[in-house]
Structure 1
Amino acid sequence: MSLPGTPPAHKARTVALASYIGTTIEWYDFFIYGVAATLVFRTQFFPAFSELGGTLAALGTFAVGFIARPIGGVVMGHFGDRVGRKSMLVVSLLTMGIATTLIGLIPTYETIGIWAPILLVVLRLAQGAGVGGEWAGAVLMAVENAPPKRKSLYGCFPQLGLPSGILLSQLVFLVLTGILPTGAFAAWGWRIAFLVSAALIIVGLIIRLRIEESADFERIREAGQVEKLPIVEVFRRSPLQLLIGSLASIAAPALGYLVSVYMVSYGTTTLKLPTATMLWIIVAVSALWIVMMLGAGMAGDRVGRKATFVAGAVLAVLWAFPMFLLVDTGVVALIVVALVVITAANAIMAGPQPALITEMFPIRLRYSGASLCYTVGSILGGGITPLLATALFAEFGSSLAVSGLIVVASLISLLAILPAGRRILRPGEPVPPRSGELPPVDQAAAQPLSD
Structure 2
Amino acid sequence: MLVFPALFFPFADRLQGTLYAFVVFSFAFVARPLGTVLSMAIQRRWSRGTKLTVALFLLGTSTAGIAFLPGYQTLGAASIVLLALFRIGQGVALGGSWDGLPSLLALNAPPERRGWYAMLGQLGAPLGFMLASGLFAYLVASLSTADFLAWGWRYPFFVAFAINVVALFARLRLVVTHEYERLLDERELEPIGVRELVRSEGHNLVIGAFAALASYALFHLVTVFPLSWVTLYSQQPVAGFLTIQIFGAALAAGGIVASGWIADRIGRRSTLGASAVLIGMFSGFAPTLLGGGPLGQDVFMLIGFALLGLSYGQAAGAVTSNFSSKYRYTGAALTADLAWLIGAAFAPLVALGLSAHFGLAYVSIYLLSGAACTLAALSLNRALGPRD
Q: TM-score, normalised by structure 2?
A: 0.92
TM-superposed deviation, 1:50 = 2.0
**Correspondence for 1:430:** none
Q: Given that residues 137 and 242 in structure 2 are in contact (C-alpha distance below 8 angstroms), is that contact kept between their aligned partners in structure 1?
A: yes
TM-superposed deviation, 1:263 = 0.6
Q: Does 1:348 align with 2:310?
A: yes
* Pair 1:288–1:135, CA change in 2 (3 A): farther
TM-superposed deviation, 1:124 = 0.3
1:271-313 Cα shifts (integer Å, max 9, x gaps): 2211112111111100111011111022222210100000000
1:127-166 Cα shifts (integer Å, max 9, x gaps): 1112223356342354345444322222212211111121
**Correspondence for 1:32:** none
* Pair 1:425–1:108, CA change in 2 (3 A): same
* Pair 1:136–1:84, CA change in 2 (3 A): same
Measured in 2, the distance between the counterparts of 1:159 and 1:183 equals: 36
TM-superposed deviation, 1:123 = 0.3
Matching residue within 329, 333, 336 for 2:298: 336
**Correspondence for 2:185:** 221
Q: Given that residues 153 and 297 in structure 1 are in contact (C-alpha distance below 8 angstroms), is that contact kept between their aligned partners in structure 2?
A: yes
**Correspondence for 2:360:** 399
Matching residue within 394, 402, 410 for 2:371: 410
Q: Given that residues 170 and 283 in structure 1 are in contact (C-alpha distance below 8 angstroms), is that contact kept between their aligned partners in structure 2?
A: yes
* Pair 1:222–1:419, CA change in 2 (3 A): closer
**Correspondence for 2:31:** 68
Amino acid at match of 2:341: I
Q: Given that residues 65 and 86 in structure 2 are in contact (C-alpha distance below 8 angstroms), is that contact kept between their aligned partners in structure 1?
A: yes
Measured in 2, the distance between the counterparts of 1:228 and 1:320 equals: 38
Q: Secondary structure at the match of 1:107?
A: coil
**Correspondence for 1:205:** 168
**Correspondence for 1:48:** 11
TM-superposed deviation, 1:405 = 1.0
Measured in 2, the distance between the counterparts of 1:40 and 1:366 equals: 40
Measured in 1, the distance between the counterparts of 2:39 and 2:112 equals: 28
Moved more, 357-366 or 236-245: 357-366
* Pair 1:337–1:220, CA change in 2 (3 A): closer
Q: Given that residues 45 and 109 in structure 1 are in contact (C-alpha distance below 8 angstroms), is that contact kept between their aligned partners in structure 2?
A: yes
Amino acid at match of 1:391: G
Q: Given that residues 102 and 118 in structure 2 are in contact (C-alpha distance below 8 angstroms), is that contact kept between their aligned partners in structure 1?
A: yes
**Correspondence for 1:390:** 352
TM-superposed deviation, 1:229 = 4.2
Measured in 2, the distance between the counterparts of 1:84 and 1:150 equals: 31
Amino acid at match of 1:221: D
**Correspondence for 1:175:** 138
Matching residue within 263, 280, 285 for 2:248: 285
Q: Does 1:362 align with 2:324?
A: yes
Moved more, 369-378 or 89-98: 89-98
Q: Given that residues 14 and 232 in structure 2 are in contact (C-alpha distance below 8 angstroms), is that contact kept between their aligned partners in structure 1?
A: no
1:22-45 Cα shifts (integer Å, max 9, x gaps): xxxxxxxxxxxxxxxx21111111
Amino acid at match of 1:244: I
Q: Secondary structure at the match of 1:319?
A: helix
**Correspondence for 2:102:** 139
Q: Given that residues 153 and 351 in structure 1 are in contact (C-alpha distance below 8 angstroms), is that contact kept between their aligned partners in structure 2?
A: no
Q: Secondary structure at the match of 2:10?
A: coil
Superposition map of 1:222-261 within 5 A = 229-261=192-224
Q: Given that residues 289 and 344 in structure 1 are in contact (C-alpha distance below 8 angstroms), is that contact kept between their aligned partners in structure 2?
A: yes
* Pair 1:136–1:221, CA change in 2 (3 A): closer
* Pair 1:276–1:226, CA change in 2 (3 A): closer
Q: Given that residues 39 and 51 in structure 2 are in contact (C-alpha distance below 8 angstroms), is that contact kept between their aligned partners in structure 1?
A: yes
Superposition map of 1:78-97 within 5 A = 78=41, 88-97=51-60
TM-superposed deviation, 1:412 = 0.9
Q: TM-score, normalised by structure 1?
A: 0.79
* Pair 1:84–1:355, CA change in 2 (3 A): farther
TM-superposed deviation, 1:217 = 5.9
Measured in 1, the distance between the counterparts of 2:181 and 2:167 equals: 22
Q: Does 1:381 align with 2:337?
A: no
Unaligned runs of 5+ in 1: 1-37, 427-443
TM-superposed deviation, 1:227 = 6.4
- The percentage of aligned residue pairs carrying the same residue is 32
* Pair 1:129–1:138, CA change in 2 (3 A): farther
* Structure with the larger helix share: 2
**Correspondence for 1:9:** none
**Correspondence for 1:11:** none
**Correspondence for 1:429:** none
Measured in 1, the distance between the counterparts of 2:312 and 2:202 equals: 22
Unaligned runs of 5+ in 2: none
TM-superposed deviation, 1:382 = 0.4
Measured in 1, the distance between the counterparts of 2:189 and 2:140 equals: 50
Q: CA RMSD in A?
A: 2.4
Q: Secondary structure at the match of 1:48?
A: coil
TM-superposed deviation, 1:421 = 1.3
